[in-house]
Structure 1
Amino acid sequence: MKRKGSNLDVEESRLSGLLFNKSKRFVEKIKNEEDQHLPDLNLKPAWIDEDDEQLTSNNNTKNKTTTLYAEKLKHKYESLMGTPNWAKIKDKLEANLEDSDILRKVGHIQKKKGSLNLSNNFLQLRKLQNINSEFRKQGQIISCVEFHPKLSVALVAGLSGVVSLFSVGGDTNNQLHSFKFNNVSAVQFSPDGSEAYLASKANHYYCMYDLVNATPKMVQLPHCVKRPLIFKLSPNGKYIATSDSFDEVHIICSNSKELIKSLKHNYKVACVTFSHNSEQVYCYCIQGEITIWDLSTFRAVKKFYDNGCINASCISNSSCGKLLATGSQEGIVNVYETNNITTSEPFPMKTISNLTTKITDITFNNTTEILAISSYCFQNAVKLIHIPSYHVFSNFPQQADNYNHIQCVRFSPNSGYMAMGNNKGAAYLYRLKHYKNY
């Protein structure tokens, strides 16, 4: 019995030492393990209090060293109060890499732990029922297909004047609502998804449709804009860039509806796109000249010619802000790194020549892993390109399917779905299996 009690005392003493940091060996072991996981950031104390060195305690009889006593106080404080946010050590990547927030979004630069890379040869996708299969009143030419930024909803518009909202993701794509706006040429949702901006090349006004109250509001364009052949909403929803394809791009405040500035160019403007943070606007002129304007000062910060471009057609910026893609009427697509276009003569990091007719639409998916290019000048002229390998996915477009003339290609916010509109009144819908969410 005595031996048994002795063993219990020894075990109790050992557990007590583990739980209350009274074992120097245990403290040193924990510190060594933490040192292996923490990055070597060469951290130094923010300040040194000389009075701490003189601190003693009458209850410190069981602690053999001052270090153990300090560990005990620290352990007691953290157990009662927790670790303050300013004292938490960030992850090694966040501490050492620049633009870590951006890098986490860009699929081809840095992937999250546990996530698989997108295959560059075969794209796993499944064709679903057309978005507008139950209600095809949008006209023969589907000019716009746009996914809602928050809800599993897609907007389909065409030249007939009917704009429809459909639910996406179920067995059937039910029609939710329809309203009229003639000859829709551009559609974009506001960042919060409460409004839809619609423009028509035939009208001297654009429509702000309140999706909450289901009410349209027609807004007159400035007198200097004859027809909104170009109409683009900035990612933050503060600016509208519009042009009648002459040598000026007009910047409008989306809140006050007033003209802020007219940006003058040397040539006619073919297309515009905003930077990912809405701080700059890229204007692509018909002769291939690209002008980058700073929206805080409305001054041109950079001008350069698109390499090898003869006649410009469209331009697009990736959501991460790292890549800029341009398309020409000769079917050539150039991809630039935005960090490298500050040089005197920027050279594209990749030139894509898989299409031979005018590039009419360029779209990046949200993770910047897929680049979609298309041309409505020829049947089935659409390609999906993997980034950063820039290999064309071999299984799309599928040879057995006839897509006719593709007008636009769009991806859902999390790239779970892809939609295409054509000239036969169809809004195709595909499920991209690599991406789990809408």
Structure 2
Amino acid sequence: MNSDARSTRLPLGAAPWIGIVLLPVTAAGGLLVAIDGLPWITRLGVFSLGMSLTLALAWVAGRRILGTFATVSDLLAALREGDYGLRGRVRPGHDPLQGLLADVNLLSDALREGRRKRTEASRFLAKTLTALKDPVFVGDEEGKLRLINPAARQLIGAERATVVGRDLVSLGLSEALATPDHAVFHGRFPGGEGRWAVRRATWHSEGREHRLIMLRDLSAALGQEERRAWQRLIRVLSHELNNSLTPIASLAGSLATMLERQHAEDLRSDLQTGLETIGRRADSLARFLSGYGKLARLPPPRPHLFRLDVALARLASLDRRLPIDVASRESVTLYGDEDQLSQAFINLMRNAVEAALPVAGGVRLDWYTEGRRVCILIEDDGVGLPDSDALFVPFFTTKPEGSGIGLSLTRLIVEAHAGSVELVSRGDTRGAVATVRLPLLP
């Protein structure tokens, strides 16, 4: 409708200009027709004057029209270059060419407003992705990376590298690309390892398809839920058992005191032995529960920078039962709670030594950096691991005098530092290897 209205308006608007231009020559022709008997010189002069005025008016009108077209051409060229700030000056009146200038100005305003909205939407999307703690990757229809948030950069170890424009497969995302929406896969990246849930979204922008891939680390969430469940269980057990053990210990002490005042030697001897047994058992159970209570009362880490290689070498020299072979000499500085991590490594080294002693095996300690993480290996030539999936579950132990909290406490400490711990049997020979991965910096 707008184009039809403009096409009918242009000729009507141009008619006054055509009439003004032709007015002198028309008036001269009418004058020559109306007046008879004029000499031919006069007739030629009148006609020449009318034609000259017509040509002059046509030249003025032509320059004005060409100037308007030149302005329109400049405006369109600016629009092609993305410059929406250039505007044409519209003179008042009913000139259709001035209406064309006004339409080009309106087009420029509309394009500028559209670009402003796209820019605001892009900034809002970028800020939203930056605030997300889950890694987010945005690729185009060709599989090239177009947008990435800080969590995703940390995951693929590209905090300071230029990755926008690179192929998504070359960034180690082939498994994530092949995983369907809402599905879970196990992936290992330079910045983390675990089970990842995949969320996808697809949209079109500027005629091109864009795909969003968001990864959610399920390992951390499952570990936190499991830890809270065990903490609740341990608190209940500690409360109930302590309520039972406290009166037993008190009664045993009271009876022992009463028996010391009696003279029945045989009776006193038998009862004394039994009560001492009860007291020792009560003390043993109290120590047993105290060890489990450590799991529920593990304080949050107090991280600081420290030399991990120096700490590991010092810990390896603590156990005098079997020398631990330290294979690495790489200098590593770690940001973490040195006291808690030392306790975790002591537990792993002690388990390795206790597994190697019965078969006269050896224990080796090694570490190396991989990207922004450090990997610590504790390998033994011991009896191997039991066939069980409950190695890191509290209360589980294969040792006659074991409490079953060493490995559980180790995993809690390592996971509190955003790391992972793995204990597997060696495939080539007997023994086991414990692998701890920790981020170097937060």
TM class, shorter-chain normalised?
under 0.3
Q: What's the TM-score once normalised by structure 1's chain length?
A: 0.20
Q: Name which one, 1 or 2, has greater alpha-carbon Rg.
A: 2
Question: Which of the two has greater helix per residue?
Answer: 2
Task: Select the structure with the greater relative contact order (CA < 8 A; seq sep ≥ 6).
Answer: 1
